[in-house]
């Protein structure tokens, strides 16, 4: 059973470009969480999605950031018009249940904005 997959593992963008980060949850998991880890900080919750629904996006910046988890395909975290402050590691986690006490993390995507 493959774990949570994220791609790309590394992404370099210039200021003003768009970044798309993909997350394929573990098989059978329909709940996806996105976290961001800035340098020297812990992981910060961004958004929680179920299939086709955004349940909690309280950790998402109000502008430029969006997330989706379509019925088919991976979850996508999209950052428009990236700025240097968006440089971070972005982790996706999945769980089989809404109240799943354990979240399984992917290896992360390291975004660098030049």
Partner 1 sequence: DQQVKQNSPSLSVQEGRISILNCDYTNSMFDYFLWYKKYPAEGPTFLISISSIKDKNEDGRFTVFLNKSAKHLSLHIVPSQPGDSAVYFCAASVFGGYQKVTFGTGTKLQVIP
Q: Which residues bind partner 1 (CB under 8 A)?
A: 4, 6, 31, 33, 35, 40-45, 48, 55-56, 91, 93, 95, 98-108
Task: Count the helices and strands in the chain (H runs, E runs).
Answer: 0, 11
- In the sheet with 5-7, reading across from the earlier edge strand, the strands are 5-7, 19-24, 75-79, 65-68
Q: Which residues pair with 18 in a beta bridge?
A: none
Cβ of residue 16: shortest distance to partner 1, in angstroms?
Answer: 28
Cβ of residue 46: shortest distance to partner 1, in angstroms?
Answer: 11
Cβ of residue 33: shortest distance to partner 1, in angstroms?
Answer: 8
Which CB sits closer to partner 1, 68 or 107? 107
What are the respective helix, strand and coil percentages of the chain, to the nearest 5?
5, 50, 50
Which CB sits closer to partner 1, 40 or 63? 40
């Amino acid at each position: 059973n493959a774990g949570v997959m994220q791609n790309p593992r590394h992404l370099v963008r210039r200021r003003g470009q768009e970044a798309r980060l993909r997350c394929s949850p573990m098989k059978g998991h329909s709940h996806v969480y996105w976290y961001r880890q800035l340098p020297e900080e812990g992981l910060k919750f961004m958004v929680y999605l179920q299939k086709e629904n955004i349940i909690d996006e309280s950790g998402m910046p109000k502008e430029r950031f969006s997330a989706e988890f379509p019925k088919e395909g991976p979850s996508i975290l999209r950052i428009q018009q990236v700025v240097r402050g968006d440089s971070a590691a972005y982790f996706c986690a999945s769980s089989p249940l809404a109240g799943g006490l354990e979240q399984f993390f992917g290896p992360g995507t390291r975004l660098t904005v030049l």
